[in-house]
């Protein structure tokens, strides 16, 4: 594939970017010295930038999104056909792809029932928060309105979503926050906060302690990622989820599972919560829903939750008084439906489990070889390696060394992720989330590149 822009075009593109684009998650001072990277074309696991350089993408579009890989013509065709037929009508009316996708999605989520369309993970989570608040008003005189979230979890970028966000490094400068959100401790055993056997149950008990402190009659919901993503790829310890579920039941607390990253195959089952036998009341999803071919996110609820919003039809306030304009775009469910067909027909869930095991085995190999790898964690094709300056103290390596590892891999033509900023512990993690179509060679190429980078950066 030859996608290099001509030198003149390239200069023009770079100048236009440098002068006018405000990139996500970027300190722009760096672009005064370095050119911005501009991605031009993708196919399968591979990407080409404007200079023509080829990259193997180990993070599915940078932020664990392109689950079925780049260049899927069948998704593009499904979107094109639907846009020509009908691009939009507000979602107070139905659409053909919206109905068909909802039915197919729910068939993969036993116990769940209703799909509410939005267009970002942040928005899907906010819709769930709004429902919890409305349920509190309808049933509990407004009292059971607090929402628990977990240290290190992330639920989106709006002020309310960061109020439910457990990563201080992302939140610190954006207060004051939305009231009514309360933090519970993280469950990362490598960074254990309690010296006990049965760590998973102990970490879940810590949630109960917060509930008792706040008053169970004030808590409406608990919002958790099945596996914490950007907060350090934290897999739950044995016994954690069963106890969490018990606690929610005991105190009549709705369980909101944020599947924005884990959803739609990433962990080897359709949803991450299905790995742990969880029975949620709300499930939110975004990135993998249409693998980035269209902007679509969903909030899925049980029928019990849905029923609470139509119990008094004579009251004009008594329904979910909410809209998302672009939740009515038909391109989203058209792309999502084809995305699901691909995952099923190509056996990508099984491939994810298989390739995930290979990736974890390779990462364990790196841990044996490099003392800087303190811990490796993962589920399916969603894995992380935590880097520490000292295995005994678990002191995190410096941020600039994390960036040096990522830069070394990039120079080798492999794109990896590193979590955002070095904070004491938990955020010095190489993040890997290659597409669900990965082959053994792809997985080995990714870990070989990391091997080389660790050797060069830490020797």
Provide the binding-site residues for ligand PMP, judged by CB under 6 A. 63, 120-122, 125, 154-157, 225, 229-230, 258, 260-261, 286
For ligand PMP, the closer of residues 48 and 101 by Cβ is 101
Min. distance of Cβ 420 from ligand PMP in angstroms?
Answer: 11
Residues ≥6 apart with Cβ < 8 Å to 233: 227, 377, 378, 382, 383, 384, 419, 429, 431
For ligand PMP, the closer of residues 226 and 374 by Cβ is 226
**Closest Cα to residue 217, out of 142, 269, 157?**
142
Distance in angstroms (rounded) separating the CA atoms of residues 432 and 383: 5
Give me the residue whose beta carbon is nearest to ligand PMP. 121
**Closest Cα to residue 278, out of 302, 255, 247, 308?**
255
Min. distance of Cβ 65 from ligand PMP in angstroms?
Answer: 9
Distance in angstroms (rounded) separating the CA atoms of residues 354 and 345: 17
For ligand PMP, the closer of residues 121 and 434 by Cβ is 121
Peptide bond into 176 cis (omega under 30): yes
Measure Cα distances from 415 to 72, 133, 376, 407 in Å: 20, 41, 19, 9
For ligand PMP, the closer of residues 156 and 332 by Cβ is 156
Min. distance of Cβ 295 from ligand PMP in angstroms?
Answer: 8
| Furthest CA-CA distance within the chain | 72
CA angle 451, 457, 459 (to 5 degrees): 90
**Closest Cα to residue 403, out of 388, 390, 419?**
419
Min. distance of Cβ 153 from ligand PMP in angstroms?
Answer: 7
For ligand PMP, the closer of residues 151 and 225 by Cβ is 225
For ligand PMP, the closer of residues 67 and 122 by Cβ is 122
Neighbours of 89 (CB within 10 A): 13
Min. distance of Cβ 398 from ligand PMP in angstroms?
Answer: 24
Min. distance of Cβ 433 from ligand PMP in angstroms?
Answer: 11
């Amino acid at each position: 594939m030859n996608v290099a822009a001509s030198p003149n075009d390239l200069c023009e593109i770079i100048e236009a970017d440098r002068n006018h684009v405000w990139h996500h998650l970027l300190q722009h001072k760096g672009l005064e010295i370095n050119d911005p990277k501009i991605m031009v074309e993708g196919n399968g696991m591979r990407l080409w930038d404007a200079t023509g350089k080829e990259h193997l993408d180990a993070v599915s579009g940078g932020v664990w999104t392109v689950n079925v890989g780049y260049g899927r013509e069948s998704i593009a065709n499904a979107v094109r056909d639907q846009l020509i037929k009908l691009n939009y009508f507000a979602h107070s009316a139905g659409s053909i792809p919206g109905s068909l996708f909802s039915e197919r999605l729910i068939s993969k989520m036993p116990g769940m029932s209703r799909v509410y369309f939005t267009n970002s993970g942040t928005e899907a989570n906010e819709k769930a928060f709004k429902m919890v608040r409305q349920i509190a008003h309808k049933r509990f005189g407004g009292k059971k309105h607090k929402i628990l979230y977990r240290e290190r979890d992330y639920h989106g970028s709006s002020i309310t979503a960061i109020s439910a966000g457990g990563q201080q490094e992302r939140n610190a400068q954006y207060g004051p926050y939305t009231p009514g959100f309360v933090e519970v401790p993280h469950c990362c055993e490598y960074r254990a906060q309690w010296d006990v056997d049965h760590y998973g149950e102990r970490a879940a008990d810590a949630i109960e302690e917060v509930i008792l402190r706040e008053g169970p009659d004030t808590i409406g919901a608990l919002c958790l990622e099945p596996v914490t993503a950007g907060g350090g790829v934290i897999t739950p310890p044995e016994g954690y989820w069963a106890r969490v579920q018990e606690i929610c039941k005991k105190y009549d607390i709705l369980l909101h599972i944020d599947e924005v990253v884990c959803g739609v195959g990433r962990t080897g089952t359709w949803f991450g919560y299905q790995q742990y036998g969880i029975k949620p009341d709300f499930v939110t999803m975004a990135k993998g829903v249409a693998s980035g071919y269209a902007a679509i996110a969903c909030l899925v609820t049980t029928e019990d939750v849905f029923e609470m919003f139509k119990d008094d039809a004579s009251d004009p306030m008594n329904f979910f008084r909410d809209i998302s304009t672009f939740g009515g775009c038909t391109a989203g469910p058209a792309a999502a439906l084809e995305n699901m067909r691909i995952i099923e027909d190509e056996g990508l869930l099984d491939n994810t489990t298989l390739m995930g095991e290979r990736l974890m085995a390779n990462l364990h190999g790196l841990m044996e070889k490099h003392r800087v790898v303190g811990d490796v964690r993962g589920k399916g094709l969603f894995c992380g390696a935590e880097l520490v300056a000292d295995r005994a103290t678990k002191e995190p390596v410096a941020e600039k060394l994390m960036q040096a590892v990522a830069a070394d891999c990039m120079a080798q033509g492999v794109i990896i992720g590193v979590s955002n900023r070095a904070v004491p512990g938990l955020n010095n993690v190489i993040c890997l989330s290659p597409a669900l179509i990965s082959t053994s060679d792809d997985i080995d190429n990714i870990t070989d590149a990391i091997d080389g980078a660790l050797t060069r950066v830490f020797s």
